[in-house]
Every structure is written in C-alpha cells, then in structure tokens.
Amino acid sequence: MSKKQEKTTEEQQVVETLLNLNVKQLKTIIDILGKEHGITATPAVAAVAAAPAAGQAAAAEDVQSTFDVVITSVDAKGKLALIRHVKEQKGITTKEAMDFVKELPQTFQAQASKEDAEKFKKELEEKGAKVELK
C-alpha cells in the first residue's frame, strides 16, 4: 500500500470514530480543538446541517442507515425532565437546553445509527417527548 492509501484509511478510521461519538463527547473534542488550536465548529456545523438536505434524494434510493432524531413536542409534565436530559446529553447550559426545548421541533441528534436513534427515541419518550426518526 502506498502512503496516500494508508493515510486515507487512517482518515476513514478517524471519521468513523467521530461518527460513533455522542454529542457530549463531540462537544468536548470541539472545546479542546478551540482552546488548544483556535479551531471553531461553526462552519462545520453549517455544512453538516446542509448535508442531510443535499443527500435526501440519494438516500431515498438506498436503505436508510442513519436517522435524525427530532423532538417534535413535549407534554407539560415532562418539560423539566426533558430540559435536564437535553442539558446532560448535549453538554450545554441550562438556558441553552431551555431554549432548545422551547423551540420545538428540534433535531436532537443528526445522522445517528439506527441503534442509537432508537435508544435516543426511547430515552426522550420516557421524559415525555414526542419523537420522530427521519
């Protein structure tokens, strides 16, 4: 194998590892990259948000392997529990979690594997949320 092919394989392994991290782990990595290397995630977030829309036509032809976990609503009784859960899982402040829940529908996790999406859906529904997998 040439060095270029090995590097591509290494890059693929890094990407696969990143795709399997939860939101809290990703936020920690983003924070470290920001503090130690001055790298921000803002442009990447915009690109990731645009990617699902661009790829929907192609994905319709293939079997869906990743899902967006979308919280569509929450009952009044579960609102506080959902805010706490969102705060913990996303590694955000209480205010950010409150704003997130206030602005439903919201994507809780983008491009999750089927197994992870089902797990997120179950956890969120236990908190009183109505959830769709898209």
Say if residue 43 is preceded by a cis peptide, omega within 30 of 0.
no
Percent of the chain with pLDDT over 90: 42
Number of domains in the chain: 1
Q: How far is CA 79 from CA 52, 55, 67, 100, in A?
A: 28, 33, 24, 11
Give 46-96 pLDDT, tens digit per residue. Answer: 445 555 555 555 545 557 889 999 999 999 899 999 999 999 998 999 999
Instruction: Please report the pLDDT score of residue 69 as a whole number.
Output: 92
84: in domain: yes
Mean pLDDT of 108-117: 91
Residue 118 lies in domain: 64-133
CA pair distance 13, 5, nearest whole angstrom: 12
Q: Which residue has 């569509």 as its token pair?
A: 72
pTM of the model: 0.54
In this structure, what CATH number is given to the domain that contains residue 99? 3.30.1390.10
The residue among 19 and 100 whose pLDDT is bigger is 100
Kindly tell me if the per-residue pLDDT of 42 is higher than 90.
Answer: no
22: in domain: no
Kindly tell me if the per-residue pLDDT of 1 is higher than 50.
Answer: no
21: in domain: no
Q: What are phi and psi of 17, to 5 degrees?
A: -65, -45
**Rg of the chain over all Cα atoms, to the nearest angstrom:** 17
79: in domain: yes
Give 99-108 pLDDT, tens digit per residue. Answer: 999 999 999 9
Number of residues that make up the chain: 134
Of the pLDDT bands very low, low, confident and very high (cuts 50, 70, 90), residue 40 is low
